[in-house]
Structure 1
Amino acid sequence: MSSAITAKITVPSPFSRFLARHTGLYFPPERWPDLMSGMDRAAREFGLQDSETCMQWLLSTPMDRHRVEILARYLTVAETYFFRDPAVFEALKTSILPGLIQSRRLSRQTLDIWCAGCATGEEAYSLAILMQRILPDFQQWRISLSGTDINPQALAKAEAGVYREWSFRNPPVWLKTGYFRETATGCYEILPSVRDMVRFSYFNLMADSDWPPIGDNGTMDFIFCRNVLMYFQPELAGRVLNKLCRSLADGGWLIIGPSEAPITAPENMERHYFPGTILYRKNLSTTVRKPAAAHTAALFPPKHTGLAAAGDQKPSVWQLAAKTARKPAKGPPGSPGPVMPLCQQKKLGVAGPEDTRRPSGGETEPSAGDADRLSPGRQYLQAVELLERGQTEAGEQALKRTLYLEPAFTPAYFMLGCLLRRQGRHKEAVKNFKNALQLLEAYPPEQILPEAEGVTAGRLAEIIRTLNAGEESI
């Protein structure tokens, strides 16, 4: 932290709390340089000379929507792209929407969808495109598809519907040609038939009134709030999450980011497991049911997990883990490689320090159960399921088995750090967070991590530092 920022440390501390209370955005000490940089730009728009003066002024005067919009413009990150997290869209397309559409055809042909924290609109438009692809008669339906955000600049871009190449990262092959027209400047403008399906508007998730901003409580079929709550303080994220759940109709679905589930688990919601993702459904029962067989059969989904006719998608955490289950991997810098017990080496035909013979044809091949036990991906999935059922001790052991088999399995370090932090085992939590951050240093900040289902290396590092606020400095 620079000396200039250190000199002003008394201002960011109360202002960070003030900002979280009014916008949800949380800036722990590790992110104060980012806060000061954003506030320098906001100060100029407020007509003030510097960030310190601006923060002191905001602390001493009532907050209103205009001020929130200016702050959001300079302090939020509008990072998204079309059909992000293909496993989510695949689950909607193949497992959720067909049954819902069939039942609605017999009663009312309506669907209510809310994208909370929609940023520049790519997610909302992706859902509109999905509806057109699976509903040939979509024009005969009343589809309410709303996107809300706190950042007016992002909303303006969403309403314009014009995007650069950065919004298309490994997209389905039919996306640009079927739903956009290329402009003279090399951008892509979404077709009117898609744009007209979505309505964008301002909404602050920290608002105490006007919940939900569209429709009535208990009417939404789907609420998407992905990669938003991870920027909130945990207690504020939990408060917003409860409001989102109340806004859902019975049987409605909540879709949050893959990195947000360990932070806050929705109440009165039922977890449903699909290949590569976990979604939440509102149910009167609070019992967490065992995953359906159809959802757990494909622990290692095929390479093409996107929509039908989609182009190649990046492999999921399970595919990467399957590939590395039988070969040693490098752990964090300075850590020893995995040491596999000799009995396992023999079963897999790996030469150990005292056994350099090739396995003979008569030796027993590893069984499917052995392969599962030796797969870091399978162990990690088991850990997630155990932790979500409240079996923390067993979940911790499964995470440690994951890291024994694959010392470079970044999500396992992250999950283990979250678990230890909640248990008050601060030194152990910091150690695991450090290991995750060391592994993340090998990636450019903007690179999407295959094992994190759409989260970039920079964003996951930011989540870890936010979670670790108040602990030993990383």
Structure 2
Amino acid sequence: MSSKLSNEVISSLSALISSLMGLHFPEDRYADLERGIVAAAGDFGFSDTLEFIHWLNTATLSRHHVEALAANLTIGETYFFRDAGSFKALEESILPAIVSARKDTSRLRIWSAGCSTGEEPYSIAILIKRMSHLFKDWNVTIIGTDINAKALKKAFDGVYTEWSFRGAPPWLKDGYFTKKDAFYEIAPEIRQMVTFSFLNLAEDVYPSLLNNTSAIDMILCRNVLMYFSPDVAGRVIHGFHNSLLEGGYLFLSPTEGLRMTSYPFKALSLENTTVYKKGSLDGPKEALAPAYAPLWQVLAQDGETRDLPLGFVGSEVREEARREPSNAPGVEAASAPVPALPSTDAAERLLRDGLYVEAARVLESIVSVKGAEGPATGLLARAYANQGRLDLAIAWCEKALAADNLNPIKHYLLATILQEQGRPEDAVKSLRKALYLDHDFVLAHFVLGNLLVRLGDPDGAIRQYRNALRLTSKMAPDDLIPESDGVTAGRLNEIINSTTRTRAF
């Protein structure tokens, strides 16, 4: 390897890395960048770091190259029950509050974003297990995502060394791990509580039914945003806001919280830890009051909403939607023009902007006039699913299927909602129906593969992944996958390949 890099070289490299992947290395983090690039050079097969940097400047990098590089530059140091204050706040305040607020659904969804080698989501699973008196008969979903396939492989295996237990409570190893030589393997009952998957926070789409990141109660993303440029960090926070239910919680590291002043979260100080809360737990009840006509009036004729500042998307629309329409002086109410029925395009735009309650209002009005036969029914199911109202989402899916039982997309949508509801076996049945009706339904193959992994059928999962890869190989890399929220064929290929490497089939 080369000797220490000059400031000029590292400054140029920092600009290159920022342009390639949105990672931010200011001058006070040049040492971190140098350590990461030296490690990456070896992984890419270069014995000389300067030669590797030259290659980065001249080569056409694939998404796989970029993410392999990012994995070396964003090394996450983690251990079990890191930041005791956060876990005390979870145990004594936040989880009991969620139990009280969600007792009608008995459903909890937690996302560890940037989970590295898995200690954080497993710590949460162990905490919930220890609080089982509160979560009896609950459907608990914990997902861990990361860009680093090697780290995810370790998380999936669940085998750790003493280093992962520094500062951990004394009961942890004896109660939830089996010692094997110098290693500790996590208990199967805890491993089964967590699902790990590959996700690039800077590039991938969320919230999405595809990657199970919608209708989340709590997101933990600590020591991750620090790697991103301000613009990329803003997009990530915006995605988190849309992924969270009203009243949901976001955990960041203390320094990353400085970025939150421009976003619609309320900062809570608990156990010397700052937690960010979206809206209020009573918010959805207020927002569901009928307000169709005022909402239509803020939709442009082309079905698009006004452009709103990042971080406050939807605040103007929500305010308009709560106002009662008024008539001009001297004009009788009966003579007021009746607004035209909005289009499903308008509702889709609201869904993309994270305005799920408003989208549901528009779609309810369309369905009330046009019935369950059109596309509005399926979109309404999505709107309810993104609010966490899964019983309503399933009911509308079933109405859509009653009107058109031979539509594979509606069977697929039902499967994704059943998956969120914690009914993987029923979701598999719906996916098989979708594939019976359309053998070339790429996403159905991929999601079925993920579910079969979860259900302990790796051979079946591999068959489905191969089917998906066979179909995407016939597409151009930039072609959009139908029903995917904007995922391209090339990107799905990379996700599948990363998934299979992580799980070592």
Give TM-score scaled by structure 2 length.
Answer: 0.51
**Is 2:98 the partner of 1:112?**
no
Instruction: Provide the C-alpha distance between the structure 2 equivalents of 1:28 and 1:69, rounded to a whole number of angstroms.
Output: 20
Deviation, structure 1 residue 173: 2.6
Q: Summarize the alignment of residues 302-381 of structure 1 with structure 2, pairs less than 5 Å apart.
A: none
* Aligned counterpart, 1:29: 27
**Is 2:224 the partner of 1:228?**
yes
Q: Summarize the alignment of residues 146-161 of structure 1 with structure 2, pairs less than 5 Å apart.
A: 146-161=143-158
1:260 maps to a residue whose letter is: E
* Aligned counterpart, 2:201: 205
Per-residue CA deviation, residues 266-299 of structure 1 (Å, 9 max, x unaligned), is 61111122131111110179xxxxxxxxxxxxxx
2:140 maps to a residue whose letter is: I
CA RMSD of aligned residues (A): 2.7
Instruction: Provide the C-alpha distance between the structure 2 equivalents of 1:166 and 1:216, rounded to a whole number of angstroms.
Output: 30
Instruction: Provide the C-alpha distance between the structure 2 equivalents of 1:130 and 1:173, rounded to a whole number of angstroms.
Output: 14
Instruction: Provide the C-alpha distance between the structure 2 equivalents of 1:230 and 1:64, rounded to a whole number of angstroms.
Output: 24
* Aligned counterpart, 1:189: 185
Q: Summarize the alignment of residues 124-143 of structure 1 with structure 2, pairs less than 5 Å apart.
A: 124-136=121-133, 138=135, 140-143=137-140
* Aligned counterpart, 2:49: 51
Shift in alpha-carbon separation, 1:18–1:240, aligned structure 2, 3 A: farther
Q: What is the aligned residue count?
A: 279
> Which 5+ residue runs of structure 1 have no aligned equivalent?
286-474
Per-residue CA deviation, residues 129-150 of structure 1 (Å, 9 max, x unaligned), is 1111112485733222111111
Corresponding residue SS for 2:102: helix
Give TM-score scaled by structure 1 length.
Answer: 0.54
- Bigger drift between 95-104 and 115-124 goes to 95-104
Deviation, structure 1 residue 53: 2.9
* Aligned counterpart, 2:240: 244
Deviation, structure 1 residue 24: 3.9
CA contact (8 A) 2:74 2:227 kept: no
CA contact (8 A) 1:181 1:190 kept: yes
Deviation, structure 1 residue 259: 2.5
Shift in alpha-carbon separation, 1:14–1:240, aligned structure 2, 3 A: farther
Instruction: Provide the C-alpha distance between the structure 2 equivalents of 1:51 and 1:101, rounded to a whole number of angstroms.
Output: 52
Poorly superposed stretches of 4+, deviation over 6 Å: none
1:5 maps to a residue whose letter is: L
Shift in alpha-carbon separation, 1:159–1:67, aligned structure 2, 3 A: same
Shift in alpha-carbon separation, 1:67–1:108, aligned structure 2, 3 A: same
* Aligned counterpart, 2:499: none
Shift in alpha-carbon separation, 1:215–1:208, aligned structure 2, 3 A: closer
CA contact (8 A) 2:206 2:213 kept: no
Corresponding residue SS for 1:238: helix
**Structure (1 or 2) with the greater helix fraction:** 2
167, 172, 175: which one pairs with 1:175?
A: 172
Instruction: Provide the C-alpha distance between the structure 2 equivalents of 1:53 and 1:114, rounded to a whole number of angstroms.
Output: 39
* Aligned counterpart, 1:257: 253
Instruction: Provide the C-alpha distance between the structure 1 equivalents of 2:38 and 2:226, rounded to a whole number of angstroms.
Output: 24
* Aligned counterpart, 2:269: 273
2:40 maps to a residue whose letter is: A
Deviation, structure 1 residue 94: 1.5
Shift in alpha-carbon separation, 1:122–1:248, aligned structure 2, 3 A: same
CA contact (8 A) 2:207 2:242 kept: no
Corresponding residue SS for 1:188: strand
Shift in alpha-carbon separation, 1:196–1:266, aligned structure 2, 3 A: farther
* Aligned counterpart, 2:416: none
Per-residue CA deviation, residues 150-194 of structure 1 (Å, 9 max, x unaligned), is 112211111111111221122223211111111122x21110000
* Aligned counterpart, 1:70: 68
> Which 5+ residue runs of structure 2 have no aligned equivalent?
282-505
2:239 maps to a residue whose letter is: K
* Aligned counterpart, 1:5: 5
**Is 2:80 the partner of 1:82?**
yes
Deviation, structure 1 residue 111: 1.1
Instruction: Provide the C-alpha distance between the structure 1 equivalents of 2:61 and 2:245, rounded to a whole number of angstroms.
Output: 33
